[in-house]
Amino acid sequence: LISYDEIKRRLQAPEKMSLRSLAAYTRVSRGPASKKTLLESLNLLGLTPSTTTSVSSSFSKLTEDTGALCEDMKDFAQDFIDYANMAKQLIPETNTVQHWSKIIETRNHLEDMRKCFKDPVNSGAFDNVTHGLGLGMLDVALDMIIMVIEQQIRILSGAAASDPTDPGPLMRRIRRRHRKTRSTDSEVPHKVSGGVKEQGKVISKGKGRGKVRKKRQETEAVASVETQAELGKPDDVEGNVLTLVSVGYETVSNGLSAA
């Protein structure tokens, strides 16, 4: 299903989508009867498509929420970019006080630039034609640059000396998955076509119970690894990976013995 606001936005400037394009992107048959039905539905909502599409691009095919794509990009940046190492490389050996003042001024200017971009008067048409993805990805890019600047400020101020050892991208992603799994545990399972939706994923009937049991065992293994890491037991990545393998092996072995 495509929302009313989505259709309304596409029919307005700058896209001004035609009935033919709208039928193609909504997977409606191109036959005259189907187009006539679609046009009648639009007229009931007070919407009238243009005769020709003004602007067409790969963004026109994005009918889902583009915000999810931006959130994923932000997560990938946090997991796989070594901001601390980048910050160290960008700090000069001399004139550090002058550099400190310059990057603070740069950060403030970037925040002013972000506000300027978000003003619909300046970039409303750009946001419409990219269906929210353009400004969302710009937001992510500015966040990445500002993160490097803030890391430099922490290093120059001496605050970074007390930061814990970076666990690396593997453990960061394990912890993120564990947090997401824990946040969906309280969801009430509801029916979908062909099975039951449990913990945010669709499973099929019959064989689904085995998959849920396996998923629960994996979650418990990840929880054990995260608890040990937070208690200050092996902090290095290799130690955590070996612990994950060991705990996972014991969990699977116990499950097989019980079965």
- Residue 164: its pLDDT value, please? 75
Question: ∠ CA(250), CA(256), CA(259), 5° rounding?
Answer: 140
Q: What is the pTM of this model?
A: 0.57
What is the pLDDT averaged over residues 44-64?
Answer: 84
Binned at pLDDT 50, 70 and 90, residue 82 comes out as: very high
Lowest-confidence region among 35-44, 106-115, 135-144, 148-157: 35-44
Give, in order, the Cα–Cα distances in Å from 228 to each of 164, 178, 231. 15, 14, 5
Binned at pLDDT 50, 70 and 90, residue 190 comes out as: very low
pLDDT of 231 over the 90 cut: no
